[in-house]
Amino acid sequence: MPKRQARTQPQETPKPSTPPQLERVTATVRVLIIDDEPNVIQSLSDILKTHDMDSLGALYGEEGIRLAMEESPDVILLDSRMPGISGFDVCTILKEEERTTHIPIIFLTGRDITEENIIRGLELGAYDYITKPYRVAELLSRIRVMARIKFAEQRARELSVTDELTGLYNRRFLLQRLEEELSRARRYRLPLSCIMLDLDYFKRVNDDHGHQAGDQVLRHVAEVLRRECRKEDILARYGGEEFTVVISGDEQDGRGASERFRHRLETSPVAIEGGTLTITASFGVACYPNHLPEGDMNAFLHLADIALYHAKRTGRNRVVTYTPDLEAEKGPSPQTEAQ
């Protein structure tokens, strides 16, 4: 398969093709300490280490911001008073940045902290504050509470964009990300391919083997596609037995990736109770800007669906790339046809 065209726009953090696996909060909590006093960082680090927590230290606000973005700690302990960029400014920056906005911040303050500054810190997005000198048991308890809050919020965010059965992104998230990717493709004049695939004769699986077998097939297909996708590709369950993959690349890249997906599915039997099943899928590919000069998201999906319908009508287990002449052949949705 030809190498896909590399992105040439400014570097951005790639978003994974599938949601990260959620993990429960364990005894190992990672804490970033931002304080201009080295002895405070050392003291806190020693305390955290003796209670099975990991720590990072930063003496300056700028360094703390960099570490927060690179290391994504579970909790941040932030001194409110620091030379140069203040703790309040650090909090503002971290809460405005997508990568760090959800990290709980606990302000470390002196006994002379005013009620006005306490309110200011909380309104900027800090979760809590604790005064120096701190009581160890109280400090540890608050850190653990903040870590649990972070996990619970992360879980809620992931579930809102995740398909429960397969663990892939859901249609809601796909539409959001596809809009973003099309906007980026228009801005930097880059090709983008949309692949829609539908499992062949999936209804027969449910009818002949039961819905549990059908669920197992869907999970298996999701895992096969997950392994074949690059990190920056967007893989989602579109609905039912239909999946969508969005990749950076032109028509040749989209077709090549689809053929790879198709072959991998066809040669990866699904283990079900009482035996195995061979699963195939039909693929439709549309590409921006070749097929879609305007870059409209709904039209993009529609063109890929037209190609998918043609793949279904012409024998299944094949890849069809959109061409304008397919428009005249578009009838009912493939989902209304016998699966």
pTM (2 decimals)?
0.66
Tell me how far apart the alpha carbons of residues 275 and 297 are, in angstroms, rounded to a whole number. Answer: 41
- pLDDT category at 81 given cuts 50, 70, 90 is confident
Residue pair 189/293 in contact by the 8 Å Cβ criterion: no
**Boundaries of every domain in the chain:** 30-159, 171-336
- pLDDT category at 111 given cuts 50, 70, 90 is low
Topology adopted by domain 30-159: Rossmann fold (3.40.50)
- pLDDT category at 156 given cuts 50, 70, 90 is confident
Tell me how far apart the alpha carbons of residues 45 and 79 are, in angstroms, rounded to a whole number. Answer: 15
Residues assigned a catalytic role? 241
- pLDDT category at 124 given cuts 50, 70, 90 is confident
pLDDT at 32 over 70: yes
What's the pLDDT tens digit per position in 180-219? 899 989 988 899 999 999 999 999 999 999 999 999 999 9
DSSP state of 82: -
What's the pLDDT tens digit per position in 303-336? 999 999 999 999 999 999 999 999 876 555 444 3
Domain 171-336 part of CATH 3.30.70.270? yes
Tell me how far apart the alpha carbons of residues 45 and 48 are, in angstroms, rounded to a whole number. Answer: 5
Q: Which residues, listed in sequence order, are joined to residue 276 by a DSSP beta bridge? A: 271
Q: E-assigned strands of 73-214?
A: 75-79, 105-109, 128-131, 192-199
Closest residue by Cα to residue 37 from 65, 62, 57: 57
In this prediction, residue 330 carries a pLDDT of: 57
In this prediction, residue 153 carries a pLDDT of: 83
Q: CA 146, 102, 92, 64: dihedral to nearest 10 degrees?
A: 70
CA atoms within 13 A on the CB side of 324: 3
In this prediction, residue 31 carries a pLDDT of: 96
86-94: average pLDDT: 92
pLDDT at 280 over 60: yes
Closest residue by Cα to residue 167 from 224, 205, 230, 206: 224
pLDDT at 6 over 80: no
pLDDT at 7 over 50: no
CA atoms within 13 A on the CB side of 73: 28
Matching residue, tokens 């405005």: 96
- pLDDT category at 109 given cuts 50, 70, 90 is confident
Least confident of 111-125, 145-159, 225-239, 299-313: 111-125
